[in-house]
């Protein structure tokens, strides 16, 4: 071999090594970027349920009244759900990375204040601030994922991880809530501080700011959408605690519905609408939004009422109640990891239909609960089926909603997606609470249930009957989602769906 050929061979070898090293570096950066994005999403989703199991200790520590305790949860949901549309569109206009870091910084600081709160009022205010931060960080996180992972297979894997975290967050919140509450209720908030600082520190080095789309901000749309969403979410929250006939419930629900029905008229005339109506132009995306609302309603009510069943009927401690959801979390994790490969092979319609069918069987099974049901015989099976259903269904929904969107709309699409999730959580709990309360006519007539074993058994049966009856509504939510998956979703080549 001549010296010239030797030099050429050496050069080609060096180029291949450099290319391999560059590709490995790119993959490592993308892995860290994905970790940053999904960790932020995990934090804001977990905070929707992590407080549930700690509420009893918070009440005794800060002397909440029975009626005001619900605001520890509601203040977060109200601010989060009410501002999501605004947060999503603001990221499109002002830069998603900027909104991601700013929203997460506010969320982290508010978490510290909540953990140190000396009074009930301070805690509720901190929870509202957490919701404001989450409303700007969460849509930006999904929009950053869509713009960071642009290739088909890479995007599907990233969306699979994001969907897995989004689905697991509510379950993990209950598990972590049970674990942390055993030490102190304050840890359910303080745990966010070191995690938030780490994510903020890694965000700018590993995430790239997206192109801004400067335009005249849709002030009217922002005001109407925020007021409408806040009124609607508050109305459902109040309906769960005060009933549907409560005058303030009726007024806020009517105001929310009226404002949101008028929003399309405003957006149709806006140059840069806060909620572009073109997001609903495609039948597949509209169906995915519908199913996100329905499945979120099912999930929120499921966690809420099954937690009541485990603690009040099966008499489990907060720690054991949290750990009781572990089988669901494990199956959910496996389903979400498998979903991207299945979607690539069979398409989003088939996988969404299978996922909702599994969840539907779980819901029907839960309607059979009674006072004699045990955890192994009556709860584990539905937990596993619902975990599988959520693990399979959520990834295709996220993928379909983001598929084929221009960059200028990814923030709005992400904000609307997560906005529907928050509405769904509030709607599910409100509707099932009404059915549950209607079926519990006699439970309040047994104040000595803890002293008389026979009365206690009777109360357990009545509580179980109320919960099982409310789960009929859970069946209805998931059944409609199944019909949408089968008849509204259309077949689409997997490669195109992941584009």
Task: Kindly list the distances between the CA atom of residue 6 and the CA atoms of 2, 12, 17, 20, 498, in Å, as whole numbers in the listed order.
Answer: 6, 10, 17, 21, 45
Rounded to whole angstroms, how far apart are CA atoms 292 and 419? 10
The tokens for 220 are 């009217």
Pairwise CA distance, residues 308 & 471, whole Å: 13
- Complete DSSP assignment for 436-476: HHHH-SSGGG-TTTTT-HHHHHHHHHHHHHHHHHHHHHHHH
The answer to pTM > 0.85 is: no
Based on the number of CB atoms within 10 Å of its own CB, is 360 exposed (0-12), middle (13-18) or buried (19 or more)? buried
Mean pLDDT, consecutive 10-residue segments, the chain of 499 residues? 57 53 75 88 81 78 73 79 78 81 94 93 92 88 78 73 72 79 87 93 83 66 80 78 82 89 81 75 85 87 83 81 85 84 86 93 92 88 92 84 72 77 78 74 46 62 84 92 88 45
**CA 163 to mean position of chain CA atoms:** 9
Q: Where along the chain do its domains lie?
A: 31-497
CA distance 142 to 401: 11
pLDDT at position 357 is 95
CATH number for the region 31-497 comes to 1.20.1250.20
Quote the CA–CA distance of 485 and 79 in Å, as a whole number: 31
Angle at 470 between CA 251 and CA 65, to 5 degrees: 55
* CA 34 vs CA 43, 61, 199: distances in Å: 14, 38, 11
The CA distance from 320 to 264, in Å, is: 47
Q: In this predicted structure, what is the pLDDT of residue 415?
A: 76
Residue whose entry in the numeric block shows the structure tokens 């995915």? 288
Neighbours of 208 (CB within 10 A): 13
- Token pair 């008389």 is at which residue? 452
CB 136 within 8 A of CB 144: no
Nearest to 84 by CA among 141, 38, 127, 30: 141
Q: Which helix (H) or strand (E) holds 129?
A: helix 120-148
Give pLDDT, residue 21: 62
Torsion sign (Cα): 454, 455, 460, 461 = positive
* Token pair in block for residue 316: 């489990």
Copy the structure tokens of residue 238.
Answer: 């109040």
Contact 155, 292 (CB under 8 A): no
Distance of CA 335 to the CA centre of its chain: 17
DSSP state letters, 239-270: HHHH-TT-HHHHHHHHHHHHHHHHHHHHHHH-
What is the predicted pLDDT for the residue at 495?
A: 39
Query: How many other C-beta atoms are found inside a 10 Å radius of the C-beta of residue 157?
Result: 19
Residue with tokens 């009040």: 312
Q: Which helix (H) or strand (E) holds 226?
A: helix 219-242
Q: What is the DSSP string of 183-208?
A: T-TTHHHHTHHHHHHHHHHHHHHHS-
Q: Which residue has the tokens 């998956």?
A: 485
Contacts 24+ apart (CB under 8 A), 473-477: 473/301, 473/431, 473/432, 473/435, 474/298, 474/301, 474/302, 474/363, 474/366, 474/428, 474/432, 475/360, 475/363, 475/364, 475/367, 477/294, 477/295, 477/297, 477/298, 477/301, 477/363, 477/428
């Amino acid at each position: 071999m001549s010296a010239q050929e030797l030099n050429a061979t050496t050069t080609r070898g060096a180029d291949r090594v450099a290319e391999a090293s560059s590709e490995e570096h790119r993959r490592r950066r993308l892995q860290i970027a994905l970790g940053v994005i999904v960790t932020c999403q995990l934090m804001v989703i977990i905070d929707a349920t992590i407080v549930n199991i700690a509420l009893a200790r918070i009440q005794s520590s800060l002397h909440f009244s029975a009626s005001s305790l619900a605001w520890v949860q509601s203040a977060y949901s109200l601010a989060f759900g009410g501002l999501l549309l605004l947060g999503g569109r603001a990221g499109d206009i002002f830069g998603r990375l900027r909104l991601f870091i700013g929203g997460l910084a506010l969320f982290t600081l508010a978490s510290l204040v909540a953990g140190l709160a000396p009074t009930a009022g301070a805690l509720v205010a901190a929870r509202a601030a957490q919701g404001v931060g989450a409303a700007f960080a969460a849509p930006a996180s999904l929009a950053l994922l869509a713009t960071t992972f642009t290739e088909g297979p890479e995007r599907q894997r990233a969306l699979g991880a994001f969907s897995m975290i989004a689905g697991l967050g509510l379950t993990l919140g209950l598990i972590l809530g049970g674990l942390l509450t055993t030490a102190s209720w304050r840890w359910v908030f303080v745990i966010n501080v070191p995690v938030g600082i780490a994510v903020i520190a890694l965000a700018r080095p590993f995430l790239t700011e997206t192109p801004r789309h400067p335009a005249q901000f849709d002030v009217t749309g922002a005001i109407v959408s925020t007021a409408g969403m806040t009124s609607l979410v508050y109305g459902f929250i109040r309906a769960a605690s005060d009933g549907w006939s409560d005058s303030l419930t009726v007024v806020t629900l009517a105001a929310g519905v009226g404002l949101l029905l008028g929003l399309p008229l405003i957006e149709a005339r806006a140059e840069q609408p806060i909620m572009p109506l073109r997001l609903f132009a495609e039948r597949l995306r509209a169906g995915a939004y519908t199913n996100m609302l329905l499945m979120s309603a099912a999930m929120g009510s499921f966690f809420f009422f099954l937690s009541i069943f485990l603690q009040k009927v099966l008499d489990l401690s907060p720690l054991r109640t949290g750990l009781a959801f572990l089988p669901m979390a494990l199956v959910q994790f496996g389903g979400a990891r498998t979903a991207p490969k299945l979607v690539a092979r069979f398409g989003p319609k088939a996988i969404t239909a299978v996922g909702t069918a599994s969840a539907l069987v779980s819901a029907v099974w839960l309607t059979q609960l009674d006072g004699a049901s045990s955890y192994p015989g009556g709860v584990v099976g539905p937990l596993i089926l619902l975990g599988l259903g959520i693990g399979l269904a959520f990834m295709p929904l996220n993928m379909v909603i983001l598929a084929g969107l221009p960059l200028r709309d990814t923030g709005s699409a992400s904000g609307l997606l997560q906005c529907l999730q928050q509405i769904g959580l509030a709607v599910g709990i409100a509707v099932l609470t009404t059915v549950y309360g209607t079926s519990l006519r006699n439970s309040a007539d047994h104040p000595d249930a803890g002293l008389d074993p026979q009365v206690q058994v009777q109360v357990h049966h009545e509580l179980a009957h109320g919960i099982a009856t409310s789960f009929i509504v859970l069946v209805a939510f998931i059944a409609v989602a199944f019909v949408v998956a089968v008849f509204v979703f259309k077949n689409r080549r997997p490669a195109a769906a992941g584009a």
